[in-house]
Amino acid sequence: MTTLLLVALGAAVGAPARYLVDRAVQARHDSQFPWGTFTVNVAGSALLGFLLALPTSDGVRALLGTGLCGALTTYSTFGYETLRLLQNGARTYAALNAVAGVAAGLGAAWCGIALAQAVTG
């Protein structure tokens, strides 16, 4: 039960953070490209990589990894926005979103791991 509460608490912070960051980033770009979702997914991937490479407890992983990062990032919106770009005829943006989103997420997770390893020695 404690793990469930930690996940819920992390998600209660991550979901509003996703919404606020997404809206703030997207408001600064006059483009069809979903910069807000791209930003939260890359940031969440970096944070998750960092957290999982640290020597932390299961509770911290549940709170920050599963809860916070799970709610901060959004694969469903990524998929929906990519399909919406295709439906609107923005094929280049759709392809860029799919390829760059996955590549940047993996790269950010790798950087998070590398940073955690550098910090912990």
Tell me if 73 is assigned to a ligand binding site.
yes
Helix 91-120 crosses helix 35-53 at what angle (to 10 degrees)? 20
- Nearest one of 63, 58, 47 to 10, comparing CA atoms: 63
d(CA 62, CA 89): 40
70 is known to lie in a ligand binding site: yes
CA 80 to chain centre: 15
Tokens at residue 41, please?
């997914």
Residue 22 has which token pair?
């997404």
Residue positions in the annotated binding site? Answer: 70, 73
Residue positions in the annotated binding site for Na(+)? Answer: 70, 73
